[in-house]
A and B are shown apart, each in its own frame.
Chain A
Amino acid sequence: MKSVNEMITATLRIIDRVISIIETTLLSLSLLVMAGALFAQILLGFAGISLTWAGELSLYLMVWVMCIGACAATRQSKHISINIISDRLKPGARRVLNIAVYAFCVATALGFCKLGINYVLLARGLGQTSMSLNIPLWVVYSALPASAVLMAMRFLILLAGEFGFKAAAQEDKS
């Protein structure tokens, strides 16, 4: 019979794995297509053929990479922050500070999510589409709410880690 703590940790670990797989897949596809599209655009540009859609596509992919990548960076604690105070705290005080910071980050991520949803609804209502590919712009913008939800979960996992639920394996910390 498993203890409740072990079950929570196991659940968090599964969530962590699923989010990681989503992130890695989307990041790999977006970056490869981005580089490929721009490469094609430059080569064909020398031949006098202009691929305007390639530039547009890579910019939209960049928006997605930004959102998903920011979420992935949370797992690896890569986000830029100033640590001159927390580095000098004793472990107990640092833990309290970390809990406050992570809780604040969960709230911020949810705020980004709400902002994103509102903006997606706005763009959908206006029916805006892109210039050369005719993609509805809300599809591009939905990167923000989608990844903000995942990011809130990531910060929750970090928060749970401070309470002893070590879910995120640190294997890809570099």
Chain B
Amino acid sequence: MISALIVIAFVVMLLCGVPLFAVIGSVTALCLAVGDYQQTIMAQQMFSMADRTSLLAIPLFIVTSTLMAKGSSARRLVDFIHALVGWLPGGLSIATLTACLIFAALAGLSPAAIIAVGTMMYPTLITGGYDERFSLGFVTSAGSLGILVPPSIVVVIFGVVGEVNIEALFIAGVTPIVLIAMMFVTYSFIVGRKNKVKRMRFRPARILRKLYSGFWAIMLPVGVGGGIYSGLVTVTQAAALGAVYAFIIEFVFYRSLKPRDLPGLMRNSGSMIGMLLIIIAVTFGFNWYLTVESVPDILTEWIVAHFDSPIAFLLAVNILLLFLGCIMDILSAIFITVPLMLPAAVAMGIDPIHFGIVFIINFEIGYLTPPVGINLFTSGAVFKKPVIEVARSVIPFLGLLLIALALVTYYPPISLWLVKLTGNM
């Protein structure tokens, strides 16, 4: 009876628009009071984050991406990619996709990618000969892919909340990302043929010029990604090196940022970091309560009794997550559902890394579905189009993402083979 009331209070507060950290925090306090536990347990669990080195990656990645986006590295990077692959068949779309991937990864949340890359590439796609509807859909969807690529904070947060190896998650994401990117590029190639898109000429001099002007900026994603994928540094170390590197290139080499910009930039990064970490901190408290009351165990038992195969379970998870993706953003969903669903998934014999990738792809789709698909609204606002028109333009891409989701869900080796090969499992 009491637990039903608590669940209702949780849902009502959430739907009324109370900030997530306040919802989880107050519900945890309520649970502790009802269960006759000491309230200080909450504080103790919140401060347990001071023992988790992997969490340090979050503030550092956010600082890096703020510096790159407000400085000039972002633009230099996109210019170079455009020059490098723009002349290939379907090159313009490859360039757009790659740029979106890098940006979304840096920002961790894809609306930033639409704003940064979309405004640069959308006019280029149109003048390149692609029709308006395709260009709009492409730019809007491409941004959502980046949340699987390092240094995406979504992956880091999934790893921290679910206690899954973060390096392994990043490695597992490589093949699905390549798969989805190939589907998108193939589709754009077909559209390009139909629209008779002109190809850019191959100009080695231009590539070299852009390489020269963007060299230091290019080395940042290369270094961070390379360091993590090769196992040379941990994610946290890569994040620290990246942050200091971004400081040096933006303030010393390019001088695109000035010392007086620093407090504003740190304030912006800091409020983003605080907003994320405070939720993680209260989630630790909430999870402590759930665990001592063995809620995940009860749920797991129920699931194991009611689903006869992992495939049936994953199908149910997909439907639930696609639905959740329509009403909440990915970070809220991770905090609320991962502690409950992951133990059940593991009990069903599903690898937690595979589960993580499936989870994240579900939410890439959630970015594009009404009524709360953030990308639809961001894109509508940036390109001054009605949201309904944006929603129509992403339909083909949604279809491709659903196919990819089905493949990744029901054929685990797509995500796991590389993890096994690199010995992270």
Contact = CB atoms under 8 A, between A and B. Distances in A.
Interface residues of B, number: 62
Contact of B267 (A72, A86, A112): A72
Interface stretch (B126-134, B137-145, B192-200, B323-331): B323-331
A92 to B, nearest CB: 16
Interface stretch (B210-218, B239-247, B351-359): B239-247
Interface string A104-118: 110011011001101
16 contacts: A28-B262, A35-B60, A35-B243, A38-B56, A38-B240, A58-B56, A62-B49, A62-B56, A69-B273, A69-B274, A70-B275, A82-B328, A100-B16, A108-B26, A116-B43, A140-B50
A101 B18 contact: yes
B22 A28 contact: no
Contacts of B77: none
A65 interface: yes
A70 B59 CA distance: 13
Interface in A71-85: 71-73, 75-76, 78-85
Contact of A38 (B60, B271, B273): B60
Interface string A55-72: 100111011011111111
B284 to A, nearest CB: 12
Nearest to A29: B266
B267 A82 contact: no
A66 B329 contact: no
A70 B278 contact: yes
Interface of B: 13-22, 25-26, 29, 39-40, 42-44, 46-47, 49-53, 55-56, 59-60, 63, 233, 236-237, 240-241, 243-244, 247, 262-264, 266-275, 277-279, 281, 327-329, 331-332, 371-372
Q: For chain A, what secondary structure do more than half of its interface residues adopt (helix, strand, loop), or is it mixed? A: helix
Contact of B279 (A23, A34, A35, A80): A80
B60 A76 contact: no
B167 to A, nearest CB: 16
B252 to A, nearest CB: 15
A75 B17 CA distance: 16
Nearest to A102: B18
B267 A108 contact: no
Contacts of A118: 39-40, 43
B266 A86 contact: no
Interface in A108-139: 108-109, 111-112, 115-116, 118-119, 122
Contacts of B63: 31, 35
A67 to B, nearest CB: 7
A72 B47 contact: no
B390 to A, nearest CB: 17
Contact of A115 (B39, B279, B331): B39
A101 B17 contact: yes
Nearest to B239: A38
Contacts of B14: 81-82
A31 B49 contact: no
Contact of B270 (A23, A42, A81, A108): A23
Given A39-B244, A66-B281, A80-B332, A24 B266 contact: yes
Contact of B16 (A85, A108, A109, A116): A85
Contacts of B233: 42
Contacts of B331: 80
A66 B52 CA distance: 14
A47 interface: no
A62 B277 contact: yes
Nearest to B265: A28
Nearest to A42: B237
Interface centre among B26, B40, B273, B281 (most CB of A within 10 A): B273
Contact of A82 (B29, B237, B268, B332): B332
A79 B13 CA distance: 14
A79 B371 CA distance: 19
Given A79-B19, A84-B371, A118-B40, A66 B49 contact: yes
A3 interface: no
Nearest to B42: A115
Contact of A72 (B50, B53, B271, B277): B271
